[in-house]
Amino acid sequence: MIATLYLLLAAWGAASTWIASTAGRRPPQLGPLYWLIALPVAELPLQHLAASAAVTIAAGSLGAFASWQGWAGALLVVGSWPLLLRLDRLGRESKQRLRAALAATFGEHAAHIGDRWDETVLPPGYRWRPFRVHDREGVERIRGLSYGPAGVRNELDIYRPRGTRLAGAPVLLQIHGGAWVIGEKEHQGLPLMNALARRGFVCVAINYRLSPQATFPDHLVDCKRAVAWISEHIAEYGGDPGWVAVTGGSAGGHLASLLALTPNEPSFQPGFEQADTSVAACVPLYGAYDFLRHNGVDVLRAKVKSFVETKVMKSNPHAALEAWERASPIRWVNRDAPPFFVIHGAHDSLVWCEGAREFVAALRAVSAAPVAYAELPGAQHAFDLFWSPRCGRAVEAIGCFLENVRAASTSLPRAHSGEARSSSRP
């Protein structure tokens, strides 16, 4: 019995390690399952290795190796260790990809992702407490501020340095993901916001209306309403209303990109058309950038309805083509786009990295602002949910990017400031 149970556990561990080591795309319907299995292994491979070793020792002490099942399980466990070590190496090597992206954008002197950054970015003991993402000692969190009329779905939290009097600090707006149907401001972007708050940023995490109750562009309208609130109120909390960057992952990356590319677009600002909703920079992570072509599927030729069609857009792409184009960030790229830093995982099985490549190429073809892109080997969707070597390196790189953009803009007037203007419709 012990040997059989050990063999089953070993087989599961080996299978999850193999899945984490691949992109996990076929069949595409299993993408969510691949992601659920792969994410903890890809980001915590050494912890996975240690757990498998502990289980092996425990199984051996209970007599599992008295039968062939025990030895077969041990073979699977030991055989998976090289893959786990490789996953750990890929996580650490994210530094090179992120540094190269920053160096290509700002120059080598600006890519400050140092060899000893672990000691300053990652919290002590992060390998044993990767899910401890709140810095209660160094960061103050102000919860539940209202920015709109939709109750709890229009509430925001503010993260800022504890015990520090701020004035004119850079501001980062965090938009959570969750496929436009789930998600809370308290659950995503926490490593990034806590790290940047320690560095003197004021970070704002928002809720927004969710589908299927909400229909696009309700989600984007809420995000823009939050920017309007920040412009009016963030100085009360030490932030600079003239310098606001936006970030988000997955659906949040989609919304962050749309927000950045559509400053002051009246159709996305009903009732507050005169508010300035421009931003100084955008950092979308593993976002969806084209609703009409997703994960290699041409939506207009697809024979089955997509999740986006039934839950988010609630319209047929053939009958409402303009609405679908307007919901796609890639259709809004323009010369006046703010600086972008697009980050995506090469192993993302929910939103494939090819979409990010196409979006970056479209941006670089027309934008006058810097466009940085880092594609991280071995990284799955939502790799930044908790502390890991890859998450720490991404947090440090985002901080470097924002600080470089901030430094370059301090002597210049805010882009799109003054009289509100509308973006060009796609």
pLDDT digits (tens, 9 = 90+) for 194-223: 999 999 999 999 999 999 999 999 999 999
Average pLDDT over residues 336-359: 97
Q: Residues 294, 347, 381, 416: which is the catalytic one?
A: 381
**pLDDT for res 116:** 45
Q: Is the preceding peptide bond at 217 cis, omega within 30 degrees of 0?
A: yes
| Shared domain check, 210 and 120 | yes
Q: Which residues contact 174 (CB under 8 A, 6 or more apart)?
A: 185, 188, 189, 192, 193, 203, 204, 205, 206, 247, 248, 252
Per the annotation, the verdict on 250 as an active-site residue is yes
Cα three-residue angle 138-185-264, rounded to 5 degrees: 105
Count of other CB atoms within 10 angstroms of residue 33: 12
pLDDT digits (tens, 9 = 90+) for 253-309: 999 999 999 999 999 999 999 999 999 999 999 999 999 998 888 999 887 888 999
Over residues 138-153, mean pLDDT: 97
Residue 420 falls inside a structural domain: no
Greater pLDDT, 95 or 412: 95
How many domains does the chain fold into? 2
Q: Determine the pLDDT at residue 114.
A: 52
Average pLDDT over residues 166-171: 95
Q: Among 25-34, 163-172, 329-338, 352-361, which stretch is predicted with the lowest mean pLDDT? A: 25-34
Per-residue pLDDT for 364 more than 60? yes
Question: What dihedral angle (degrees, nearest 10) is formed by the CA atoms of 111, 376, 18, 71?
Answer: 0
pLDDT at position 425 is 53
9 lies in some domain: yes
Is 324 within 8 Å of 217 (Cβ atoms)? no
* Catalytic hit among 250, 328, 367, 409: 250
pLDDT at 120: 62
Over 70: is that where the pLDDT of 417 sits? Answer: no
DSSP string, 250-268: THHHHHHHHHHHSTT-GGG
CA distance 281 to 284: 10
pLDDT-based confidence at residue 109 (cuts at 50, 70, 90)? confident
Counted residue by residue, the chain has a size of 426
Question: Do 161 and 154 form a contact (C-beta atoms < 8 A)?
Answer: no
Same-domain pairing of 229 and 130: yes
Tell me, yes or no, whether 173 and 143 share the same domain: yes
Instruction: Evaluate if residue 42 carries a pLDDT over 90.
Output: yes
For residues 130-146, give the mean pLDDT: 95
Same domain, 115 and 64: no
Cα–Cα distance, 422 to 262 (Å, whole number): 7
* Coil, helix or strand at residue 294: strand
Decide if 230 is inside a domain: yes
Which of 92, 111, 132 is the last residue in one of the domains?
92
Enumerate the β-bridge partners of residue 145.
Answer: 156
Band (pLDDT 50/70/90 cuts) for residue 416 is: very low
CA separation for the pair 282, 423 (Å, rounded): 16
pLDDT value, residue 118: 45
Single out the catalytic residue among 348, 349, 367, 409: 348
Across the chain, mean pLDDT equals 92
CATH number at residue 126: 3.40.50.1820
Same domain assignment for residues 123 and 55: no
Task: Supply 355's token pair.
Answer: 């979409």
- Residue 389, CA atoms < 13 Å, CB-side half-sphere: 22
**Strand duo 155-161 + 139-146: pairing:** antiparallel
Q: pLDDT band for 113, please (50, 70, 90 cuts).
A: low
Does residue 25 form part of some domain? yes
Whether residues 158 and 236 fall in one domain: yes
In angstroms, the CA 395 to CA 155 distance is 25
**Residue 34 tokens, joined:** 């691949």
Active-site residue, 409 included: no
Report pTM: 0.93
Q: Which of 23, 84, 15, 103 shows the shortest CA–CA distance to 374?
A: 103
Residue 423 lies in a domain: no
Lookup result for tokens 């786990």:
84
- Here the tokens at position 421 are 């203007």
Closest of 94, 175, 102 to residue 392, by C-alpha: 94
Q: How many CB atoms lie within 10 A of CB 75?
A: 13
Is 134 a known active-site residue? no
Does residue 173 lie within any of the structural domains? yes
Q: How confident is the model at residue 15 (pLDDT cuts 50, 70, 90)?
A: very high
pLDDT, position 413: 42
Looking at per-residue pLDDT, the higher value among 251 and 28 belongs to 251
pLDDT at residue number 176: 98
